[in-house]
Protein backbone atom coordinates (compact mmCIF):
# COMPACT_ATOMS: atom_id res chain seq x y z
CA UNK A 1 0.00 0.00 0.00
CA UNK A 2 1.49 3.36 -0.98
CA UNK A 3 2.32 5.56 2.02
CA UNK A 4 3.28 9.21 2.25
CA UNK A 5 6.67 8.93 0.46
CA UNK A 6 5.24 6.87 -2.41
CA UNK A 7 2.27 9.24 -2.80
CA UNK A 8 4.62 12.23 -2.73
CA UNK A 9 6.72 10.56 -5.44
CA UNK A 10 3.63 9.93 -7.59
CA UNK A 11 2.47 13.55 -7.14
CA UNK A 12 5.85 15.00 -8.14
CA UNK A 13 6.17 12.66 -11.12
CA UNK A 14 2.68 13.55 -12.37
CA UNK A 15 3.47 17.23 -11.89
CA UNK A 16 6.46 16.75 -14.17
CA UNK A 17 4.48 14.88 -16.79
CA UNK A 18 1.03 16.51 -17.03
CA UNK A 19 1.24 19.98 -15.47
CA UNK A 20 -0.58 22.46 -17.76
CA UNK A 21 -2.34 19.71 -19.73
CA UNK A 22 -6.04 20.19 -20.50
CA UNK A 23 -8.64 17.44 -20.06
CA UNK A 24 -10.61 16.94 -23.28
CA UNK A 25 -12.72 14.03 -22.15
CA UNK A 26 -13.16 11.68 -19.18
CA UNK A 27 -14.46 8.12 -19.40
CA UNK A 28 -15.37 6.33 -16.17
CA UNK A 29 -15.47 2.56 -16.65
CA UNK A 30 -16.06 1.54 -13.02
CA UNK A 31 -18.53 4.01 -11.44
CA UNK A 32 -17.81 3.12 -7.80
CA UNK A 33 -14.34 4.68 -8.09
CA UNK A 34 -15.97 8.15 -8.15
CA UNK A 35 -16.89 8.69 -4.54
CA UNK A 36 -18.62 11.99 -3.83
CA UNK A 37 -20.57 12.99 -6.97
CA UNK A 38 -22.53 11.23 -9.75
CA UNK A 39 -20.34 9.86 -12.53
CA UNK A 40 -21.99 11.85 -15.36
CA UNK A 41 -21.41 15.11 -13.48
CA UNK A 42 -17.81 14.09 -12.76
CA UNK A 43 -17.23 13.50 -16.49
CA UNK A 44 -19.01 16.70 -17.53
CA UNK A 45 -17.33 19.01 -15.02
CA UNK A 46 -13.83 17.83 -15.91
CA UNK A 47 -14.16 18.58 -19.61
CA UNK A 48 -11.94 21.55 -20.54
CA UNK A 49 -10.24 21.72 -17.12
CA UNK A 50 -6.52 22.44 -16.92
CA UNK A 51 -4.04 20.90 -14.42
CA UNK A 52 -2.67 23.88 -12.48
CA UNK A 53 -0.89 22.54 -9.43
CA UNK A 54 -0.15 19.28 -7.63
CA UNK A 55 -0.16 18.56 -3.90
CA UNK A 56 -0.58 15.95 -1.23
CA UNK A 57 -2.38 15.66 2.10
CA UNK A 58 -1.65 12.49 4.10
CA UNK A 59 -1.93 9.72 1.52
CA UNK A 60 -4.30 11.73 -0.71
CA UNK A 61 -3.20 13.26 -4.04
CA UNK A 62 -4.49 16.77 -4.74
CA UNK A 63 -4.84 18.03 -8.34
CA UNK A 64 -5.78 21.66 -8.61
CA UNK A 65 -7.72 22.29 -11.84
CA UNK A 66 -9.04 25.55 -13.33
CA UNK A 67 -12.30 25.39 -11.31
CA UNK A 68 -12.13 22.22 -9.30
CA UNK A 69 -10.04 20.18 -6.92
CA UNK A 70 -9.61 16.58 -8.03
CA UNK A 71 -8.53 14.35 -5.14
CA UNK A 72 -7.31 10.76 -5.42
CA UNK A 73 -6.83 8.12 -2.75
CA UNK A 74 -4.81 5.14 -4.04
CA UNK A 75 -5.64 2.89 -1.06
CA UNK A 76 -4.24 -0.63 -1.66
CA UNK A 77 -3.10 -0.69 -5.27
CA UNK A 78 -4.40 2.39 -7.12
CA UNK A 79 -1.99 3.63 -9.80
CA UNK A 80 -1.74 6.34 -12.43
CA UNK A 81 -0.33 5.68 -15.90
CA UNK A 82 0.64 8.47 -18.29
CA UNK A 83 0.71 7.75 -22.04
CA UNK A 84 2.05 10.02 -24.77
CA UNK A 85 -0.80 9.06 -27.09
CA UNK A 86 -4.20 7.41 -27.13
CA UNK A 87 -3.81 3.96 -25.59
CA UNK A 88 -6.14 0.99 -25.39
CA UNK A 89 -7.09 0.69 -21.67
CA UNK A 90 -6.45 -2.64 -19.97
CA UNK A 91 -9.17 -4.31 -17.90
CA UNK A 92 -7.99 -2.60 -14.69
CA UNK A 93 -8.05 0.95 -16.13
CA UNK A 94 -11.18 2.35 -14.53
CA UNK A 95 -10.95 6.06 -15.36
CA UNK A 96 -9.47 7.42 -18.59
CA UNK A 97 -8.54 11.10 -18.86
CA UNK A 98 -8.06 12.09 -22.53
CA UNK A 99 -5.74 15.09 -22.48
CA UNK A 100 -4.87 17.69 -25.12
CA UNK A 101 -1.71 15.65 -25.50
CA UNK A 102 -1.70 12.00 -24.39
CA UNK A 103 -3.73 10.21 -21.74
CA UNK A 104 -3.86 9.64 -17.99
CA UNK A 105 -5.29 6.32 -16.76
CA UNK A 106 -6.37 5.47 -13.22
CA UNK A 107 -5.72 1.78 -12.79
CA UNK A 108 -6.66 -0.36 -9.80
CA UNK A 109 -6.56 -4.15 -9.71
CA UNK A 110 -8.43 -4.33 -6.41
CA UNK A 111 -10.80 -1.40 -7.03
CA UNK A 112 -10.36 0.08 -3.52
CA UNK A 113 -8.99 3.41 -4.79
CA UNK A 114 -11.26 6.45 -4.93
CA UNK A 115 -11.52 9.76 -6.81
CA UNK A 116 -13.28 12.87 -5.48
CA UNK A 117 -14.20 16.13 -7.20
CA UNK A 118 -14.93 19.37 -5.30
CA UNK A 119 -15.51 23.01 -6.22
CA UNK A 120 -12.23 24.78 -5.62
CA UNK A 121 -12.10 26.49 -2.22
CA UNK A 122 -15.01 24.47 -0.82
CA UNK A 123 -14.66 22.04 2.05
CA UNK A 124 -12.88 18.88 0.90
CA UNK A 125 -14.77 16.50 3.16
CA UNK A 126 -12.72 13.42 2.25
CA UNK A 127 -9.81 15.07 4.11
CA UNK A 128 -11.88 15.98 7.20
CA UNK A 129 -10.61 13.24 9.45
CA UNK A 130 -6.93 13.61 8.63
CA UNK A 131 -4.62 14.52 11.48
CA UNK A 132 -1.46 16.57 11.31
CA UNK A 133 1.12 16.39 8.55
CA UNK A 134 4.46 15.06 9.87
CA UNK A 135 6.12 18.46 9.29
CA UNK A 136 3.36 20.51 10.89
CA UNK A 137 4.82 22.85 13.55
CA UNK A 138 1.90 21.98 15.82
CA UNK A 139 2.82 18.29 15.76
CA UNK A 140 4.42 18.28 19.22
CA UNK A 141 5.01 15.81 22.05
CA UNK A 142 2.30 17.62 23.99
CA UNK A 143 -0.25 17.12 21.16
CA UNK A 144 0.58 13.42 20.87
CA UNK A 145 0.56 12.89 24.62
CA UNK A 146 -2.88 14.47 24.82
CA UNK A 147 -4.13 12.59 21.75
CA UNK A 148 -3.12 9.25 23.27
CA UNK A 149 -4.42 9.96 26.77
CA UNK A 150 -6.14 6.82 28.03
CA UNK A 151 -5.42 4.89 24.81
CA UNK A 152 -3.80 1.54 25.57
CA UNK A 153 -3.45 0.90 21.81
CA UNK A 154 -0.07 -0.46 20.71
CA UNK A 155 2.20 2.38 19.55
CA UNK A 156 2.67 0.66 16.16
CA UNK A 157 -1.12 0.70 15.55
CA UNK A 158 -1.46 4.23 16.92
CA UNK A 159 1.05 5.50 14.34
CA UNK A 160 -1.26 4.11 11.62
CA UNK A 161 -4.16 6.23 12.90
CA UNK A 162 -4.52 8.81 10.09
CA UNK A 163 -6.43 11.20 12.34
CA UNK A 164 -3.39 11.54 14.63
CA UNK A 165 -0.61 11.90 12.05
CA UNK A 166 -1.52 11.63 8.35
CA UNK A 167 0.58 9.61 5.95
CA UNK A 168 2.23 6.83 7.96
CA UNK A 169 1.38 3.27 6.86
CA UNK A 170 2.56 -0.17 7.89
CA UNK A 171 6.10 -0.04 6.45
CA UNK A 172 7.09 3.28 7.97
CA UNK A 173 5.35 2.57 11.30
CA UNK A 174 7.54 -0.55 11.62
CA UNK A 175 10.66 1.43 10.71
CA UNK A 176 9.87 4.30 13.12
CA UNK A 177 9.35 1.87 16.03
CA UNK A 178 12.71 0.30 15.27
CA UNK A 179 14.45 3.65 14.88
CA UNK A 180 13.35 4.83 18.34
CA UNK A 181 13.91 1.34 19.81
CA UNK A 182 10.40 0.84 21.13
CA UNK A 183 8.46 -2.41 21.41
CA UNK A 184 5.72 -2.09 18.73
CA UNK A 185 3.18 -3.26 21.32
CA UNK A 186 4.08 -0.67 23.94
CA UNK A 187 0.89 1.19 24.99
CA UNK A 188 0.55 4.64 23.41
CA UNK A 189 -0.77 6.23 26.62
CA UNK A 190 2.45 5.43 28.51
CA UNK A 191 5.05 7.14 26.37
CA UNK A 192 7.08 10.02 27.79
CA UNK A 193 7.11 13.41 26.14
CA UNK A 194 10.87 12.95 25.57
CA UNK A 195 10.12 9.74 23.66
CA UNK A 196 7.37 11.41 21.64
CA UNK A 197 9.89 14.09 20.63
CA UNK A 198 12.15 11.29 19.45
CA UNK A 199 9.27 9.68 17.53
CA UNK A 200 8.48 12.99 15.79
CA UNK A 201 12.14 13.50 14.80
CA UNK A 202 12.41 9.92 13.59
CA UNK A 203 9.16 10.11 11.58
CA UNK A 204 10.35 13.21 9.77
CA UNK A 205 13.82 11.80 9.14
CA UNK A 206 12.59 8.45 7.80
CA UNK A 207 9.89 9.97 5.59
CA UNK A 208 12.30 12.58 4.21
CA UNK A 209 14.88 9.92 3.39
CA UNK A 210 12.20 7.76 1.77
CA UNK A 211 10.93 10.66 -0.35
CA UNK A 212 14.51 11.35 -1.44
CA UNK A 213 14.83 7.69 -2.45
CA UNK A 214 11.56 7.83 -4.42
CA UNK A 215 9.70 5.70 -1.90
CA UNK A 216 9.82 1.98 -1.23
CA UNK A 217 9.20 -0.55 -3.98
CA UNK A 218 7.90 -3.82 -2.56
CA UNK A 219 5.50 -6.48 -3.76
CA UNK A 220 2.26 -4.70 -2.91
CA UNK A 221 3.32 -1.37 -4.31
CA UNK A 222 5.28 -0.81 -7.48
CA UNK A 223 5.49 2.45 -9.30
CA UNK A 224 3.55 2.76 -12.54
CA UNK A 225 5.27 5.90 -13.69
CA UNK A 226 8.68 4.51 -14.45
CA UNK A 227 10.11 5.70 -11.12
CA UNK A 228 11.39 2.87 -8.98
CA UNK A 229 11.78 3.78 -5.32
CA UNK A 230 14.99 2.65 -3.66
CA UNK A 231 14.15 3.00 0.02
CA UNK A 232 13.72 -0.79 0.37
CA UNK A 233 17.53 -0.87 0.56
CA UNK A 234 17.42 1.36 3.64
CA UNK A 235 14.85 -0.67 5.59
CA UNK A 236 15.95 -2.03 8.96
CA UNK A 237 13.06 -4.36 9.83
CA UNK A 238 10.27 -4.26 7.21
CA UNK A 239 10.13 -7.50 5.14
CA UNK A 240 13.38 -8.69 6.77
CA UNK A 241 12.02 -11.62 8.79
CA UNK A 242 14.78 -14.13 9.69
CA UNK A 243 17.48 -11.75 8.41
CA UNK A 244 19.96 -10.28 10.88
CA UNK A 245 19.49 -6.91 12.55
CA UNK A 246 21.81 -4.34 10.94
CA UNK A 247 22.52 -2.90 14.38
CA UNK A 248 22.89 -5.83 16.80
CA UNK A 249 22.99 -9.01 14.69
CA UNK A 250 19.91 -10.55 16.32
CA UNK A 251 17.34 -12.22 14.03
CA UNK A 252 14.47 -9.96 12.90
CA UNK A 253 11.08 -11.38 13.76
CA UNK A 254 7.57 -10.93 12.48
CA UNK A 255 4.38 -10.91 14.52
CA UNK A 256 0.87 -9.58 14.03
CA UNK A 257 -0.18 -6.48 15.93
CA UNK A 258 -3.90 -5.79 15.50
CA UNK A 259 -3.84 -7.91 12.37
CA UNK A 260 -0.97 -6.08 10.66
CA UNK A 261 2.37 -7.70 9.88
CA UNK A 262 4.89 -6.20 12.29
CA UNK A 263 8.63 -6.66 11.88
CA UNK A 264 10.92 -5.95 14.83
CA UNK A 265 14.26 -6.74 16.43
CA UNK A 266 13.62 -8.53 19.75
CA UNK A 267 16.91 -7.24 21.16
CA UNK A 268 16.90 -3.59 20.01
CA UNK A 269 13.18 -3.20 20.75
CA UNK A 270 12.95 -5.09 24.03
CA UNK A 271 10.29 -3.71 26.41
CA UNK A 272 12.07 -1.70 29.11
CA UNK A 273 10.73 -1.11 32.62
CA UNK A 274 7.99 1.53 32.54
CA UNK A 275 9.29 4.79 34.02
CA UNK A 276 6.72 5.85 36.57
CA UNK A 277 6.97 9.14 38.48
CA UNK A 278 5.05 9.79 41.66
CA UNK A 279 4.37 13.34 42.76
CA UNK A 280 1.93 15.33 44.83
CA UNK A 281 1.66 18.54 46.77
CA UNK A 282 2.77 18.81 50.39
CA UNK A 283 1.02 16.49 52.82
CA UNK A 284 -0.80 14.45 50.16
CA UNK A 285 1.11 11.30 51.15
CA UNK A 286 3.21 10.70 48.04
CA UNK A 287 5.92 8.95 50.06
CA UNK A 288 3.31 6.61 51.57
CA UNK A 289 2.14 5.84 48.03
CA UNK A 290 5.73 5.20 46.82
CA UNK A 291 6.16 2.91 49.83
CA UNK A 292 3.10 0.93 48.76
CA UNK A 293 4.54 0.51 45.25
CA UNK A 294 7.72 -0.79 46.90
CA UNK A 295 5.66 -3.25 48.99
CA UNK A 296 4.17 -4.55 45.74
CA UNK A 297 7.69 -5.36 44.55
CA UNK A 298 8.60 -2.38 42.38
CA UNK A 299 11.94 -0.58 42.86
CA UNK A 300 11.52 2.98 44.15
CA UNK A 301 13.99 5.86 44.15
CA UNK A 302 13.30 9.16 45.90
CA UNK A 303 14.77 12.36 44.47
CA UNK A 304 14.66 14.00 47.91
CA UNK A 305 16.78 11.19 49.35
CA UNK A 306 19.20 11.31 46.42
CA UNK A 307 19.49 15.06 46.92
CA UNK A 308 20.23 14.61 50.63
CA UNK A 309 22.93 12.03 49.90
CA UNK A 310 24.43 14.22 47.18
CA UNK A 311 24.86 17.13 49.58
CA UNK A 312 26.88 14.87 51.84
CA UNK A 313 29.24 13.88 49.05
CA UNK A 314 32.51 15.74 48.88
CA UNK A 315 32.50 16.03 45.06
CA UNK A 316 29.12 17.76 45.12
CA UNK A 317 30.10 20.09 47.95
CA UNK A 318 33.38 20.93 46.23
CA UNK A 319 31.53 21.85 43.05
CA UNK A 320 29.07 24.02 45.00
CA UNK A 321 31.94 25.70 46.91
CA UNK A 322 33.41 26.54 43.51
CA UNK A 323 30.10 28.03 42.32
CA UNK A 324 29.72 30.09 45.51
CA UNK A 325 33.43 30.89 45.65
CA UNK A 326 33.46 29.93 49.33
CA UNK A 327 35.14 27.52 51.72
CA UNK A 328 34.20 23.82 51.50
CA UNK A 329 33.34 23.79 55.20
CA UNK A 330 30.70 26.48 54.66
CA UNK A 331 28.59 24.41 52.26
CA UNK A 332 25.49 23.11 53.98
CA UNK A 333 21.75 23.22 53.33
CA UNK A 334 21.19 26.48 55.19
CA UNK A 335 24.09 28.20 53.45
CA UNK A 336 22.89 27.08 50.00
CA UNK A 337 19.40 28.38 50.75
CA UNK A 338 20.82 31.71 51.85
CA UNK A 339 23.06 32.10 48.80
CA UNK A 340 20.34 31.34 46.22
CA UNK A 341 17.52 33.13 48.05
CA UNK A 342 17.84 36.49 46.30
CA UNK A 343 20.16 35.50 43.47
CA UNK A 344 18.16 34.12 40.53
CA UNK A 345 21.23 33.46 38.39
CA UNK A 346 22.95 31.53 41.16
CA UNK A 347 19.72 29.66 41.92
CA UNK A 348 19.51 28.51 38.30
CA UNK A 349 23.14 27.39 38.25
CA UNK A 350 22.83 25.41 41.49
CA UNK A 351 19.53 23.81 40.42
CA UNK A 352 20.85 22.85 37.01
CA UNK A 353 23.88 21.22 38.59
CA UNK A 354 21.92 19.34 41.27
CA UNK A 355 19.20 18.24 38.85
CA UNK A 356 21.72 16.76 36.44
CA UNK A 357 23.41 14.93 39.36
CA UNK A 358 20.07 13.57 40.56
CA UNK A 359 19.09 12.53 37.04
CA UNK A 360 22.37 10.63 36.68
CA UNK A 361 21.59 8.72 39.86
CA UNK A 362 18.07 7.96 38.64
CA UNK A 363 19.41 6.70 35.28
CA UNK A 364 21.90 4.47 37.11
CA UNK A 365 19.08 3.11 39.24
CA UNK A 366 17.22 2.17 36.02
CA UNK A 367 20.29 0.35 34.69
CA UNK A 368 20.48 -1.82 37.82
CA UNK A 369 16.83 -2.93 37.45
CA UNK A 370 16.45 -3.91 33.78
CA UNK A 371 13.87 -6.68 34.07
CA UNK A 372 11.07 -5.39 36.29
CA UNK A 373 7.80 -4.17 34.76
CA UNK A 374 8.10 -0.69 36.24
CA UNK A 375 10.41 1.52 38.25
CA UNK A 376 9.07 4.27 40.44
CA UNK A 377 10.73 7.65 40.97
CA UNK A 378 9.39 10.00 43.60
CA UNK A 379 9.76 13.55 42.29
CA UNK A 380 8.42 16.38 44.50
CA UNK A 381 8.59 19.15 41.85
CA UNK A 382 7.68 17.02 38.83
CA UNK A 383 5.37 19.48 37.07
CA UNK A 384 7.08 22.64 38.37
CA UNK A 385 10.24 21.63 36.47
CA UNK A 386 10.46 19.93 33.07
CA UNK A 387 11.00 16.55 34.73
CA UNK A 388 7.49 15.42 33.85
CA UNK A 389 8.71 15.12 30.25
CA UNK A 390 11.09 12.25 31.15
CA UNK A 391 8.55 9.74 32.48
CA UNK A 392 6.22 7.30 30.69
CA UNK A 393 3.58 7.58 33.37
CA UNK A 394 3.19 10.51 35.77
CA UNK A 395 1.15 9.58 38.83
CA UNK A 396 -0.29 12.41 40.92
CA UNK A 397 -1.32 11.83 44.52
CA UNK A 398 -4.14 14.09 45.69
CA UNK A 399 -5.82 14.45 49.03
CA UNK A 400 -8.56 16.41 50.75
CA UNK A 401 -7.37 19.77 52.17
CA UNK A 402 -8.69 18.97 55.66
CA UNK A 403 -6.71 15.73 55.73
CA UNK A 404 -3.59 17.48 54.43
CA UNK A 405 -3.75 20.08 57.21
CA UNK A 406 -4.30 17.36 59.79
CA UNK A 407 -1.34 15.34 58.51
CA UNK A 408 1.01 18.34 58.51
CA UNK A 409 -0.05 19.30 62.03
CA UNK A 410 0.37 15.79 63.40
CA UNK A 411 3.44 14.60 61.50
CA UNK A 412 5.43 17.78 61.03
CA UNK A 413 4.09 19.89 63.88
CA UNK A 414 3.40 22.86 61.62
CA UNK A 415 1.09 25.70 62.57
CA UNK A 416 -2.07 26.48 60.58
CA UNK A 417 -0.48 29.73 59.43
CA UNK A 418 2.64 28.00 58.10
CA UNK A 419 0.53 25.37 56.37
CA UNK A 420 -1.76 27.94 54.74
CA UNK A 421 1.25 29.88 53.43
CA UNK A 422 2.78 26.78 51.82
CA UNK A 423 -0.53 25.64 50.34
CA UNK A 424 -1.08 29.07 48.79
CA UNK A 425 2.35 29.08 47.16
CA UNK A 426 2.29 25.70 45.45
CA UNK A 427 1.08 24.82 41.97
CA UNK A 428 -2.65 23.98 42.32
CA UNK A 429 -3.83 20.37 41.92
CA UNK A 430 -6.08 21.27 38.96
CA UNK A 431 -3.09 22.30 36.85
CA UNK A 432 -1.25 19.11 37.76
CA UNK A 433 -4.27 16.86 37.15
CA UNK A 434 -4.46 18.03 33.54
CA UNK A 435 -0.85 16.93 32.97
CA UNK A 436 -0.90 13.65 34.92
CA UNK A 437 -1.40 10.18 33.42
CA UNK A 438 -2.92 8.73 36.56
CA UNK A 439 -4.40 10.07 39.80
CA UNK A 440 -4.34 8.31 43.15
CA UNK A 441 -6.65 9.65 45.84
CA UNK A 442 -5.35 9.46 49.38
CA UNK A 443 -8.53 9.80 51.40
CA UNK A 444 -9.64 7.82 54.40
CA UNK A 445 -7.74 4.89 55.83
CA UNK A 446 -4.42 3.36 54.79
CA UNK A 447 -6.38 0.23 53.77
CA UNK A 448 -8.37 2.25 51.24
CA UNK A 449 -5.18 3.83 49.93
CA UNK A 450 -3.60 0.39 49.63
CA UNK A 451 -6.57 -0.77 47.54
CA UNK A 452 -6.36 2.33 45.34
CA UNK A 453 -2.65 1.78 44.72
CA UNK A 454 -3.12 -1.91 43.91
CA UNK A 455 -5.92 -1.08 41.48
CA UNK A 456 -3.75 1.53 39.75
CA UNK A 457 -0.82 -0.89 39.47
CA UNK A 458 -3.05 -3.56 37.91
CA UNK A 459 -4.46 -0.98 35.51
CA UNK A 460 -0.97 0.03 34.35
CA UNK A 461 0.47 -3.50 34.14
CA UNK A 462 -2.51 -4.75 32.17
CA UNK A 463 -1.69 -2.42 29.26
CA UNK A 464 1.92 -3.57 28.96
CA UNK A 465 2.92 -6.05 26.20
CA UNK A 466 2.61 -9.68 27.29
CA UNK A 467 5.28 -12.17 26.33
Which residues of the shown chain bind Zn ion in the complex (CB under 5 A)? 245, 247-248, 250, 265, 267-268
The minimum distance between CB 179 and Zn ion, in angstroms, equals 11
Residues in the chain: 467
Q: What is the DSSP string of 314-327?
A: HHHHHHHHHHHT--
If the CB atoms of residues 226 and 249 are measured against Zn ion, the closer one turns out to be 249
- 47: number of Cβ within 10 Å: 12
Q: Which of 21, 45, 59, 114 is the catalytic position?
A: 59
Catalytic site residue 260?
A: yes
The minimum distance between CB 264 and Zn ion, in angstroms, equals 9
The minimum distance between CB 136 and Zn ion, in angstroms, equals 31
Q: What span, in angstroms and rounded, lies between the C-alpha atoms of 360 and 352?
A: 12
Catalytic site residue 2?
A: yes
Q: How far apart are the first and last CA of the chain?
A: 29
Q: Which of 2, 5, 184, 273 is the catalytic position?
A: 2
Q: What is the DSSP string of 180-222?
A: TT--TTSBGGG--HHHHHHHHHHHHHHHHHHHHTT---BTTB-
Q: What span, in angstroms and rounded, lies between the C-alpha atoms of 275 and 390?
A: 8
The minimum distance between CB 250 and Zn ion, in angstroms, equals 5
If the CB atoms of residues 37 and 248 are measured against Zn ion, the closer one turns out to be 248
C-alpha distances in Å from residue 371, one per residue of 89, 205, 301: 60, 31, 16
- Which of 172, 221, 169 minimizes the C-alpha distance to 59? 169
The minimum distance between CB 244 and Zn ion, in angstroms, equals 8
Closest residue to Zn ion using C-beta atoms = 245
The strand order across the sheet containing 274-280 reads 300-302, 374-378, 274-280, 393-398, 438-441
Catalytic site residue 234?
A: no
Is the Cβ–Cβ distance between 18 and 64 less than 8 Å?
Answer: no
Q: Which of 17, 260, 389, 454 is the catalytic position?
A: 260
C-alpha distances in Å from residue 285, one per residue of 41, 130, 408: 69, 43, 10
Catalytic site residue 25?
A: no
The minimum distance between CB 245 and Zn ion, in angstroms, equals 3
Burial class (CB in 10 A: 0-12, 13-18, 19+), 224: middle
If the CB atoms of residues 211 and 245 are measured against Zn ion, the closer one turns out to be 245
The residues carrying an active-site annotation are 2-3, 59, 260
Amino acid sequence: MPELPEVETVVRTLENRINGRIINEVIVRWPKIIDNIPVDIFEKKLRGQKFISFGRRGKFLLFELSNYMLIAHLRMEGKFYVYAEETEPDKHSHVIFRLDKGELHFNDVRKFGRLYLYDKGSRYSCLDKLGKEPWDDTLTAEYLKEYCRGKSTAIKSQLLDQSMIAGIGNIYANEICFDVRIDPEHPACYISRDKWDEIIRSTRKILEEAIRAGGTTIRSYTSSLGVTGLFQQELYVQSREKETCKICGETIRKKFVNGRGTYFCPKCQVEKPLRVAITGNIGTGKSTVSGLFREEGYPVISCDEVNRELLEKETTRKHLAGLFDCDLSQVNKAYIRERIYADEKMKKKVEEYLHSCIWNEVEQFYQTNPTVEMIVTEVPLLFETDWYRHFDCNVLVVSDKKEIVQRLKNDRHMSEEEIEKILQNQMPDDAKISMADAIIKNEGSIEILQKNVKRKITEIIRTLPQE
